Structure 1
Amino acid sequence: MRTLNKLTTVILLLAAISSKSIAQQKTMQAVDYVDPNIGGSGIVLQPTRPLVHLPNSMMRVFPMKQDQLDDQIMFFPLCVVSHRIEYAFSFLPLKGVPDNTAWGKRFTVLEETTTPYFYSAEDEETGITVGLTASSKSAIFEVDFKNPNNNYFRIGLNGGNGNVEQTGKHSFAGTEEVTGLKTYFYAETDEDIAQVNYQGTDKKRLLAKFNAVKVKFKYGFSYISIEQAKANLYKEIPAWDFDSVKRSAKTIWNNKLGQITIKGGTLGQKRTFYASLYRTYERMVDINEYGQYFSAYDQKVHQSKEPFFVDNWIWDMYIAAEPLHTILDPRKEQQKISSYIEMYKQGGWMPAFALATGDWPAMTGNHAASWMADAWAKGIRGFDVKTAYEGLKKNSLEGTLLPWRNGPATAIDSFYNTHGYLYSTRPEERGSKDGVEMDKWWEGRGNEGVSITLEWSICDWAIAQLAKPAGYAQDKPLFLKRAGWYGNVYNAEEGFVWPKDKNGNWIKPYNTKLLGREYVTENNSYTYNWTPKHDLTGLFAKMGGKEKAEAKLDQLFREDLGLPKFHFWLNQPDASGMVGQFVMGNEPSYHIPYLYNYLGAPWKTQKRIRMLIDTWFPDNVFGIPGDEDGGGTTGFVVLSMMGFFPVTPGVPVYTIGSPSFGEASVKLPSGKTFTVKAINNSKNNVYIQKAMLNGKVLDKPWFTHTDLLKGGTLTLTMGDRPNKAWSSKAGSAPPSGIDIDPEVYR
């Protein structure tokens, strides 16, 4: 009896705890679910950072540590210039004797709070607490030193040329060059600066002493001048009300994240979802400073009332992040695209990675074309499609295709335009070739010829779709022809994309699993086999038909690495989150689990997607399996957890996966709402038994962008065993082929 009473007590206690948890969730707002620490320890490569910022805003700040497992803050950059790679200035509050050791001192975290709109930490050695919140081009710190002894701020550069200095009894200013771009800040404190000591005579770093116990530090940031930085500060944070700035930032974030509401699922899934949605707003960022902006693309200040967006790694972003925001904020997408077009007009080439510091021609492809064609197909207008087309066409026909460079075509590019593939170099041929130094970035490696041929085929198909609306209908056959060139690097005998030399011979020996970047970008042929998403019909035919393609896709998820993991990652550090040879941690893979929908086996897409999301995206510091790239990966997570995904850029349809929630609703800018309901959804009920779109039976695994824009409800009835008959009939597959007309699917 006593045992029974104890058991009853435990059950009641657990029930009470569960009820309390449910009650707490009911009062939580969207922003409350966001944990910026998710993914904060990179499994192989870069961690995420707990950025404090407003959505798509210039001001981005975080505590600089090795990762979120590190307990020491080196400094706070006053602004992130380019996501993950470039930072301007440094700031850190410290306590102690201001001797030579102060210049290398760190803030050791005892406890910290991380949110999108606010960060705080306590130093375990001194008890100092620091809080941070931000507006769009300015930020404010509040520091509690606990007592008036030996309190100081360390302010300095972050490695570039420039200087920082005290400019008044309560003010500082500075300039720093970041990859050729001048950055500026102007800062004020609410307490007197008692003393300033500079490190050396060049004024690159200073220690500012304060006798006050509590000191606030607010500053404006600019790419134009110190005067403009000051104006930005006064416009955004004129007073010293830290809590007001914080409340405003929280409201902005909650409104933005609350555009998507979810029901059902676990607390962990909600945390993963909203943290991922938050990540998709890290870039692009608007650097128009209240009527003017500095462009690194022509080194001029421009007067403009329109936003000027920079910081887009388009190779990563065109796949999921930009399509997600095409749904959420088409007006902003139009402004981002217009910014790209302005960069082309200013600099002469359509950017690859459009940073604040100028174009960083990283990675492969001309994927601004993929992005713009997709936006156009989904009804986004208001950008200069004629000029956009001309820039994209110039990049394709007159520019270099080689990674990590920009500008006119080389002899190697001329070969591509003549022969329809980019030839690869054998190991003994590496280095200078045809007068082109191909190994400038990846010394001793090749020219990534396989990936370039595959990805430029996608981009040329996208350009073809823009030819007619731009007024160049006569160009469309040329670009459709080029869209088929991916087949020139498909080795039908081996069943893989394969490097081909200048004479048209397949390079052997060749390991389809183990690559650096000799022939394929950041992955191997197992991943790049599935790249031609603009012509899946043609690709499956090359693989011997749908049945053989499905078997090959099955094997992708089952194939072993062929060697120990540490050897594999030594050569392919980007290939993380492995399931067989499938790479969850890198963007070229993200459409692949959805390809079963094109092969008559949608249930396998449902199986794979739920397993991948549940396995690789938990709500902890290991919750992102690869480089996040400012929305590149988390865009995939948001869309997949809602239950659908865009596979072919430029074809306005979404293919259906397996939702993580019982219900996900998107509030569209039109005022309408699109909802995905998953009846009986659970951890085990991952398979679609039947589907209805606005009350009508849906027996195909896709719907159109127009269906989404009309609003309404996609209802999926879920079960724990696959319904292999659902959407498996011939003709049910989503459209994908070189000759299809995207207009048919609008």
Structure 2
Amino acid sequence: MNYKNIIFALLLPFGSLAQKQPADYVNPLIGSAPSTTESAKKHSEAGSEMKGQIVPAIGVPQGMTSWTPQTRATELKCIPPFYYNDTKIQGFRGTHWMNGSCVQDYGSVTIMPMSGKLTINANERGSDFDRKTETVKPYFYEVILKKDNIKAQMTALARAGFLQFSFSQKQKNYILVEPNSDEGEGFVEIHPEKNEIVGYNPVHRIYQGFGKSAGFSGYFVIQFDQSFTDYGVWKDQNISAKATQAQGNGKKQAVGAYAQFGNQLVKVRIGTSFTSLEGARKNLESEINHWDFSKTQQASNLAWNKALGKIEVKGSDYDKTLFYSALYHAKLTPRIFSDIDGSYPGFADDDNLYKAQNFTYYEDYNLWDTYRAVHPLHTLLEPKVSADMMQSLVKKAEQGTWLPIFPCWNHYTAAMIGDHAIAAIGDAYIKGIQDFDIKTAYRYMRKNAFEINTDPKSYEEGKGRRALASYLQYNYIPLEDSVWQAFHKREQVSRTLEYAYDDFVLAQVAQKLGEKADYETLIKRAKNYQNVIDPATGYARGRYANGTWIKPFDPFVQRSSFITEGSPAQYTFYVPQDVQGLIKHIGGTKRFVEKLDTLFEQGYYWHGNEPNNQIVYLYPFANQAWKTQEKVRQIIREEYDISAGGMSGNEDGGQMSAWLVFSMMGYYPVCPGTPNYVLGSPSFEETTLHLPNGKTFKIVAKGNAATTPYIQSARLNGKVFTQNFITHQQIMAGGTLVLNMSSQKP
């Protein structure tokens, strides 16, 4: 047995060697421990890649609120509520953490059982636990809290959670409820006559507008299946028995509530909402109106199997665990933000409540990351979900007056670079997603691309493209523009490259809509990448307003001020819209391949950060597809595994996992906004997509094995297939792609 099989055996729950349902292959703990890959160790940017930024999210795909064991009592930036290597559990949190990110949790609430002495401080109440007693599935979590020998169980649906606690002791048994407000503005209220505790946790912004109110709260209604024998609230360390209400004073004051129970089994159901307590109550009544824990668990399990089962694979259990865990991680955000009746809070500074008509409103878009593969995956598998996500972006633009670039906690952020709501919307539209308002979307996409925001206050808040004035004046962003009004400052070359790509995608939308003049302007701007890639060196390079290149210059420096989270050498290949033009611009095919080879052979490729994700798929553009096939297989084995440390970089809303999903299937969307997927090397003997139109598309890799990464020949629906890419339309038409695999380079 090799080491991977050993890891797999250790991670399996007891008695489950023959798992048949996709959800039962998922290990939600992958990525929650410090990364064990060489890429992360070598290239870690802020250090977060080395910590583990993923929490085991229990619930359903795209759920409003997920549930996770809490090991850190915080809503601070870059600190998730769970770390695999922590040894104590402080409670069980209804969380809105954006998995794998370096942002913040918000609007969360924690529930903690205990026996004997009432201990309210999160660090002091923490209990040891044994991972041998822990079961972690997307739809179910169970653990024994050793301190008081309490068995805790969790399951959840989209807007409501269900917890139950089995107390072993007949002394005083408590359940604590704590809104995790870092700003000390939490509120709790006990209704003993209803066996109920309610409350809210106000949400605050980071990045632009740091510390300001986001204009809404995370509301919760918690109901218990039995009456309280005692109850009370606390503020800081002061407990008030029989008191029914506590409100934080905004001075970092911790507040919470507790209830005491006489029975040894206590069931807890929780409704959540971003609109009101009444909204949380309606969500709970709609989703969990009973006290049957197993019924909710089964519903959650069914939701995951329905979503994950849209891709059926044949291969080893290890690879199925790797694959379905990645697909699970790619289906967590954006999250549902509207109540069961469609109500949701207005975007940014709009204080109104709205109702989503015929769509679900979504929030938390890691767009700099997720436009690359997460949103294309939604578009491929879940066109209705994709359409609703795009319509949600349209509504944000209408309510906020500008199309957001990186919307989180229902607000503008200016968190990252680029303008990739354009990429996500454009890709969905070009691939045939029509059930959203593309005309209104285009108006705001165009506004972002053509209009300079001249209002200093709203620009600082994150409305409008950063440094657009310079981009339009010079057709690149010169080094003199330091881009101060952004979280990521400077980074002029990366911004230029990403805007050129966004302009290309918008050009495709303009062409399809018949906006000829816009198309001609934008397709010309899509060539702006040429203005920041030096033909002499063949690398992306900082440039001054007078046209001179920055000196001294080293293309392999990881932290160049004009590059975002990478090196000039890596960003040179961020021209997905015109790879053939890039090849010509830097001196031809031979030089292009040499530069690609240098990245991989000399250790400069950094899989753990998103601008690198498409690079391995560029060899086919230079007629060396076999190198893509070889290196994709290598990356999968070196950068991912099924242990808790098996993620090579920040997951960032599912992008690292979505890359893996596509790559294990055998193709990747190098340029979202076009209908093409570049072929790689499938990991499975067979991969079947059960498409939303009722058809199936199957990839059969004959002779597939770890030692046979190379495609020798192919047939699509029985006909010889010689292309290095397959189109979205070909996949959606259904059929079978047969690949003959070999250990010999073609």
TM over 0.5, shorter chain: yes
Aligned ranges 1:452-471 → 2 under 5 Å: 452-471=495-514
1:242 is matched with which residue? 293
1:272 is matched with which residue? 322
Task: Give the C-alpha shift of residue 382 in structure 1.
Answer: 2.4
* Comparing 172-181 and 77-86, the one that deviates more: 77-86
Aligned ranges 1:324-473 → 2 under 5 Å: 324-399=377-452, 406-408=462-464, 412-425=467-480, 437-438=484-485, 441=487, 446-473=489-516
Note the alpha carbon deviations across 1:553-600, whole angstroms, 9 max, x for none.
Answer: 1111122xxxxxxxxxxxxxxxxxxxx111111111111111011110
One of 63, 71, 74 as aligned partner of 2:87:
71
2:241 is matched with which residue? none
Task: Give the C-alpha shift of residue 527 in structure 1.
Answer: 1.2
**Residues 296 and 356, structure 1, Cα contact 8 Å, conserved in 2:** no
Secondary structure in 2 matching 1:52: coil
**Residues 135 and 141, structure 2, Cα contact 8 Å, conserved in 1:** yes
**Residues 62 and 334, structure 2, Cα contact 8 Å, conserved in 1:** yes
Counterparts of 2:505 and 2:339, CA distance in 1: 33
1:215 is matched with which residue? 266
Secondary structure in 2 matching 1:706: helix
Counterparts of 1:514 and 1:171, CA distance in 2: 57
**Residues 360 and 404, structure 1, Cα contact 8 Å, conserved in 2:** no
**Residues 412 and 463, structure 2, Cα contact 8 Å, conserved in 1:** no
1:86 is matched with which residue? 105
Do residues 286 (structure 1) and 336 (structure 2) align? yes
- What's the Cα RMSD here? 2.4
Counterparts of 2:484 and 2:614, CA distance in 1: 33
Task: State percent identity of aligned pairs.
Answer: 31
Structure 2 CA distance for partners of 1:100 and 1:366, relative to 1, 3 Å: closer
2:197 is matched with which residue? 172
Task: Give the C-alpha shift of residue 372 in structure 1.
Answer: 1.9
Aligned ranges 1:89-104 → 2 under 5 Å: 89-98=109-118, 104=124
Structure 2 CA distance for partners of 1:408 and 1:319, relative to 1, 3 Å: closer
Counterparts of 1:193 and 1:404, CA distance in 2: 50
Task: Give the C-alpha shift of residue 622 in structure 1.
Answer: 1.6
Aligned ranges 1:652-667 → 2 under 5 Å: 652-667=675-690
**Residues 400 and 406, structure 1, Cα contact 8 Å, conserved in 2:** no
Task: Give the C-alpha shift of residue 119 in structure 1.
Answer: 0.8
Counterparts of 1:355 and 1:404, CA distance in 2: 16
Counterparts of 2:230 and 2:260, CA distance in 1: 5
* Comparing 330-339 and 94-103, the one that deviates more: 94-103
Counterparts of 2:288 and 2:314, CA distance in 1: 37
Structure 2 CA distance for partners of 1:453 and 1:400, relative to 1, 3 Å: farther
Runs (4+) off by over 4 Å: 23-27, 81-84, 99-103, 399-405
2:33 is matched with which residue? 41
What's the TM-score once normalised by structure 2's chain length? 0.86
Secondary structure in 1 matching 2:93: coil
AA aligned opposite 2:406: F
**Residues 402 and 464, structure 2, Cα contact 8 Å, conserved in 1:** no
Task: Give the C-alpha shift of residue 517 in structure 1.
Answer: 6.3
Unpaired segments ≥5 residues, structure 1: 1-13, 426-432, 560-579, 724-746
1:144 is matched with which residue? 166
One of 51, 60, 68 as aligned partner of 2:57:
51
* Comparing 550-559 and 60-69, the one that deviates more: 60-69
Task: Give the C-alpha shift of residue 134 in structure 1.
Answer: 0.4
1:690 is matched with which residue? 713
Secondary structure in 2 matching 1:63: strand
Counterparts of 2:284 and 2:262, CA distance in 1: 25
Secondary structure in 1 matching 2:96: strand
* Comparing 186-195 and 39-48, the one that deviates more: 39-48
Counterparts of 1:78 and 1:101, CA distance in 2: 18
Task: Give the C-alpha shift of residue 349 in structure 1.
Answer: 1.0
Highest Rg: 1 or 2? 1
* Comparing 91-100 and 215-224, the one that deviates more: 91-100
Counterparts of 1:641 and 1:414, CA distance in 2: 42
AA aligned opposite 1:550: V
Note the alpha carbon deviations across 1:655-699, whole angstroms, 9 max, x for none.
Answer: 111110100000001111100110110110111111111111112
Counterparts of 2:709 and 2:720, CA distance in 1: 19
2:728 is matched with which residue? 705
Q: What number of residue pairs does the alignment pair up?
A: 671
One of 533, 557, 560 as aligned partner of 1:490:
533
Counterparts of 2:689 and 2:471, CA distance in 1: 44
Structure 2 CA distance for partners of 1:210 and 1:511, relative to 1, 3 Å: farther
Counterparts of 1:398 and 1:607, CA distance in 2: 45
Task: Give the C-alpha shift of residue 512 in structure 1.
Answer: 2.4
What's the TM-score once normalised by structure 1's chain length? 0.86
Task: Give the C-alpha shift of residue 176 in structure 1.
Answer: 1.3
Counterparts of 1:100 and 1:481, CA distance in 2: 62
Note the alpha carbon deviations across 1:45-83, whole angstroms, 9 max, x for none.
Answer: 243211001111212111123521222123332231655
**Residues 79 and 221, structure 1, Cα contact 8 Å, conserved in 2:** no
Secondary structure in 2 matching 1:655: strand
**Residues 687 and 719, structure 1, Cα contact 8 Å, conserved in 2:** yes
**Residues 196 and 206, structure 1, Cα contact 8 Å, conserved in 2:** yes
Counterparts of 2:666 and 2:461, CA distance in 1: 38
2:587 is matched with which residue? 544
Note the alpha carbon deviations across 1:426-485, whole angstroms, 9 max, x for none.
Answer: xxxxxxx78x745x646xxx5110110000000011111111333422111111121111
Task: Give the C-alpha shift of residue 630 in structure 1.
Answer: 2.3
AA aligned opposite 1:342: K
Counterparts of 1:345 and 1:150, CA distance in 2: 53
Task: Give the C-alpha shift of residue 408 in structure 1.
Answer: 5.0
Counterparts of 2:279 and 2:439, CA distance in 1: 34
Structure 2 CA distance for partners of 1:517 and 1:364, relative to 1, 3 Å: farther
**Residues 606 and 657, structure 1, Cα contact 8 Å, conserved in 2:** yes
**Residues 399 and 406, structure 1, Cα contact 8 Å, conserved in 2:** no
Note the alpha carbon deviations across 1:706-732, whole angstroms, 9 max, x for none.
Answer: 111111111111111111xxxxxxxxx
**Residues 366 and 407, structure 2, Cα contact 8 Å, conserved in 1:** yes
Secondary structure in 1 matching 2:529: helix
One of 267, 272, 278 as aligned partner of 1:227:
278
1:628 is matched with which residue? 651
Counterparts of 1:553 and 1:465, CA distance in 2: 28
Structure 2 CA distance for partners of 1:333 and 1:625, relative to 1, 3 Å: same
Note the alpha carbon deviations across 1:587-638, whole angstroms, 9 max, x for none.
Answer: 1111111101111001000000000001111111121100112211111101
Note the alpha carbon deviations across 1:146-179, whole angstroms, 9 max, x for none.
Answer: 1221321221121241311212241100011011
Structure 2 CA distance for partners of 1:74 and 1:506, relative to 1, 3 Å: farther
2:242 is matched with which residue? none
Structure 2 CA distance for partners of 1:620 and 1:447, relative to 1, 3 Å: same
Unpaired segments ≥5 residues, structure 2: 1-5, 36-46, 72-81, 205-213, 239-245, 248-254
**Residues 174 and 261, structure 2, Cα contact 8 Å, conserved in 1:** yes
One of 603, 609, 616 as aligned partner of 1:586:
609
Do residues 195 (structure 1) and 245 (structure 2) align? no
Do residues 478 (structure 1) and 521 (structure 2) align? yes
Counterparts of 1:302 and 1:267, CA distance in 2: 46
